[in-house]
Structure 1
Amino acid sequence: MPAPASAPAPPSEGAAFVRQAYALVADLAAPRPGVYYADLLLSSLVGWAALVLGARAWPAAGAWVLLAVSALALYRAGSFIHELTHLRRGAVAGLSPVWNALVGVPLLLPSFLYVGVHGVHHAKPHYGTVRDPEYLRLTGWPRWKILLWVAQGALLPVALGLRFLLLAPLSLVHPRLRRLVWEKASSLSVNPAFSRAPPPASLRAGFAAQEALCAGWAWAVVLLAALGALPARYPLAAAVVAGAVGLLNQLRTAVAHRFANDGRTLDMEAQFLDSVNVPGSPLATALWAPVGLRYHALHHLLPGLPYHALGAAHRRLAAGLPPASPYLRACEPSLAAAYRRLGRPVG
């Protein structure tokens, strides 16, 4: 006599939480290409125009105001690299090459440094473990060490310059160096233990083209400056702006998660609670966490939502989920409050 079939296991609380949340915001899931392009084009235009004007005014005091505007605008434009990793193919046609032309190549920040990497961070078996490129456990770190870690973001132009001026051409003639460069110097990551796997065959040609364009652009700027055809104040101003962009991004990264996991595999609810929303002010908070990044816990809960929908989704979830829902436990009122909770799990 056959054994009676076992009853299906009840859904986990975490899965139920995700379903409840998605049901409230499902109508917001479609990306709006016009919003993407208008935002990206305007941010890029403001960023590059302010950079050129600031470099022309260098070293007058007004130059620093223009360079600050440039840094904020290009930081916003650069943050669309995050959207490129989540958009379904064809959802916003042509966005990747346009973004690389406007931002990725000029800033030596091509999309291949993030596409194929960020997905590892979201994968349930990898999130918060030693295999996660965007996770570094900060529990027990003194505040000065965290501040030093944030400050090193200002070295972004140095790291990218070395990557594309020297390592890119040298690695073409040295296979062992090539493998090392790919594993350790081809990812926007914070985890020094992370090693990037080889890219799939379908992406290799596109990645190689991006790398070649960045190397060519970097060498063109150096040669033009060396020959006197490009005044030194322009690449110097660009380096200052790129350093500010790197610093802002590292600051935002530092409060995107609690960074308190001890390496265990987390379920969806635990991953959500290890992430942070900082709704803050619609204007001020969007300067240091643009393109929806202030709703980072919400993004980990529902990674398919486009950035322009996250504000409305957050308001719906805060008002519509049951009082016992963990949603509001992932929210912090300000950058300072989120910083104080670094390395401390949600109780």
Structure 2
Amino acid sequence: MDYRKAGVNIDEGNRLVEMIKPVAKETYIPGVMAGVGGFAGLFELSNMKEPVLVSGTDGVGTKLKVAFMADRYDTIGIDLVAMCVNDVVCSGARPVFFLDYFATSKLDAAKAAAVIRGIADGCKMAGCALLGGETAELPDFYSGDEFDLAGFAVGVVEKNRIITGRGIKEGDIIIGLPSSGLHSNGFSLARKVLFEKMGCHVDSYIGSLGTTLGEELLKPTRIYVRDVLELIEEVEIKGVAHITGGGFYDNIPRILPDGLGAIIRKGTWPVQPIFYFIGDAGEIEEREMFRTFNMGIGLILITSPESADKVLTVLDNMRKKAYIIGNIVRREGVEIV
């Protein structure tokens, strides 16, 4: 017996490392001291008075199941980065590096490299470095050729510029930035409805969507980092919330001071057809839709009434769509009207 006969191919792992080194190097930004291949990644912080590190970790959940069904792995890595860096930027932090964890029962270096190239693409979009990661070959642990992904991002922000939400007041304006679709949340429900209840396949063409179901579901999560970082240089943003699992109901209260809540007004932004398609097919109650999915809004910003127009103008100048979707009220909880 040897390790390979037990199911672990060290040579395939080494081949993967050599394949991804140049991919990771394309993401390097000033501050990277050592990256992929060593025992740890090194990053130097400079030109900051009181730097505060901000970290976020996540995975892509059962969206991976759709990637397996479609045998497509070029975008799932973008999702992984997005889910982490979008959380980090909610504090006003600039993501500086990212690390991933790729675990599978049987390592296929070519498939893993496709995933990691997507991770590198996500890092470029976020302006951070792919500093390292871990590949784990775990025989018999996962089903067939399936794998799991997780990752984490670390960002940095000056202590006096952290966005905390503490300054949010009654009457403040809620601005929504559109999502690209489902992003990476609610896929357990979406798959149940679309593939089990309806009997659809990833190659099924859906007229109301104008594309196949696989293409729609695998649209990568939008990365909002550059939008937010540019915006906060020009106008005060009091709070930022990433609309992920829990939707509007659970994510907006996370940034509000005690005693405050939010009113969200339906019809103030366009909702993509995929949400109506899932909701109608699954006969899902509206509250459940707004708690499970982002419903077309991937990130919300809270600003004062005096600054709201400037926020919209700055985003428009960046060619980014944004919508005033509600306001802050003096009662806890989120109401969608």
Task: Note whether the superposition's TM-score is higher than 0.5.
Answer: no
Sort the TM-score into its range (normalised by shorter chain): under 0.3
The structure carrying a bigger helix percent of its residues is 1
